[in-house]
Amino acid sequence: MSQQLTIEDSRQALSGHVTDKGIAVYAEYGPDLGWEDMQRLLEDRKFVRYPCEVVFDTAPLQPGEFAFPVPLGERPEAGFRIAVHPHFSNQRDKVPWLVLYQLVAVNYGEFASADDAEMFGAAALGLTKDEYYRALCDMADQVSDGRCAM
C-alpha cells in the first residue's frame, strides 16, 4: 500500500528545499551579498529558475510594498522584472535583501509562502529568520506608514 503525500507534506518539503537553496546561495555568494553579487545570482540558473531583471518602479507595487516580481509573459520562462521601490535606488546594499524575498515567488510561484521567502532570504544571508524579518520590516516601513506591510 502506497502512502499519499498531503498538502502539508508538500509544504514542509518546499520549506526544507528553499532553506537548503538559501544555504547554498550563502555558500556560493557569501555573507555580504551586494549589488554586483545579486546581478550574478540572478543569472545563476542553479538558484534562479527564470530570467530576472531589477528595475526601480512603483507602478506595479501596492501601497507600502517594497518589491514585486512582475511576469513578462504568460509562462514563467519569459522571465520577470522585479520592481523595487525607487526609495531603495540609492541604497543598493539593501536591494539584494528585498530581491531575495521575491525570488521564492519567481522560482516556486503561488505555492510558495511568505514564510518560505523569509526562510530562503535568511539562509542566503546567514541570518536567523527573525533577524531577516525584522530587517525587511524596517525596509518596508521606509516606504509605508510604518506598519510593516510586506
pLDDT tens for 40-67 read: 999 999 999 999 999 999 999 998 899 9
Locate 122 and state its grid cell.
535568511
Over the chain, what is the mean pLDDT? 91
Q: Which residues of 107-122 are buried (b: 16+ CB within 10 A; e: fewer)?
A: bbeeebbeebbbbbbb
Q: How far is CA 18 from the centre of its chain?
A: 11
Give the three-state DSSP class for 3. coil
Q: Which of the two residues, 76 and 3, has the higher pLDDT score?
A: 76
Question: For residue 11, what pLDDT is reported?
Answer: 67
Question: For residue 144, what pLDDT is reported?
Answer: 85
> Which residues are CB-contacts of 45 (< 8 A; sequence separation ≥ 6)?
none
In degrees, to the nearest 5, what angle opens at C-alpha 106 toward C-alphas 100 and 111? 105
Instruction: Indicate the domain borders of the chain.
Output: 9-142
* Average pLDDT, integer, range 13-40: 91
This prediction has a pTM of 0.90
φ, ψ (nearest 5 deg) of residue 25: -60, -45
